Structure 1
Amino acid sequence: MQGKARKIVQAICYEIIAVACVAPALSLMFDAGMSHSTALAALMSGIAMSWNMGYNWAFERWEARQQRRSRTFLRRVLHALGFEGGLVLILLPLVAFWLDISLWAALLTNLALFVFFFLYAFVFQWGFDKVFDVPVSAQEAKC
Structure 2
Amino acid sequence: MRTRNDRLRHAIGFEFFALLIATPLASWFTGVGLSHMSLLALFLSLLATVWNYIYNIGFDHFLLKYQGNGHKKLSQRVLHTFCFEGGLLIVALPIMSWWLNISMLEALMLDLGFVAFYLVYAFVYNWVYDKMFPIPQEVPKTMSH
Do both share a fold (TM > 0.5)?
yes
Alignment partner of 1:39 is 2:39: yes
Question: Which residue of the partner structure matches residue 19 of structure 1?
Answer: 19
1:2-54 Cα distance to aligned partner (Å, 9 max, x none): 41110110011100111112211221122111111111111110000011011
Secondary structure of 1:65's aligned partner: helix
Q: Which has the higher contact order (CA 8 A, sep 6+)?
A: 2
Aligned residue identity for 2:72: R
Mapping of 1:4-83 within 5 angstroms? 4-67=4-67, 69=69, 70-83=71-84
Structure 1, unmatched stretches of 5+, are 139-143
CA distance in 2, matches of 1:17, 1:103: 27
Tell whether the 8 Å contact from 1:63 to 1:137 is kept in structure 2 after alignment: no
- Determine the structure 2 residue equivalent to 1:92: 93
Root-mean-square deviation (CA), in Å? 1.9
Looking at structure 2, the residues matched to 134 and 4 of structure 1 have their Cα atoms a distance apart, in angstroms, of 13
Matched positions, count: 138
Q: Per the alignment, do residues 131 and 104 of structure 1 end up closer, same or farther by CA in structure 2, a change over 3 Å counting?
A: same
Cα distance change, pair 32–61 in 1 and its aligned pair in 2 (3 A): same
The whole-number CA distance in structure 1 between the counterparts of 2:19 and 2:125 is 14
Q: Does 1:103 align with 2:97?
A: no
> Mean alpha-carbon deviation: is it higher for 74-83 or for 60-69?
60-69
Post-superposition offset of 1:134: 2.2
Quote the Cα distance in structure 2 between the aligned partners of 1:67 and 1:131. Answer: 23
Secondary structure at 2:66's aligned position in 1? coil
TM-score normalized with structure 2 length: 0.88
Identity within the alignment, %: 35
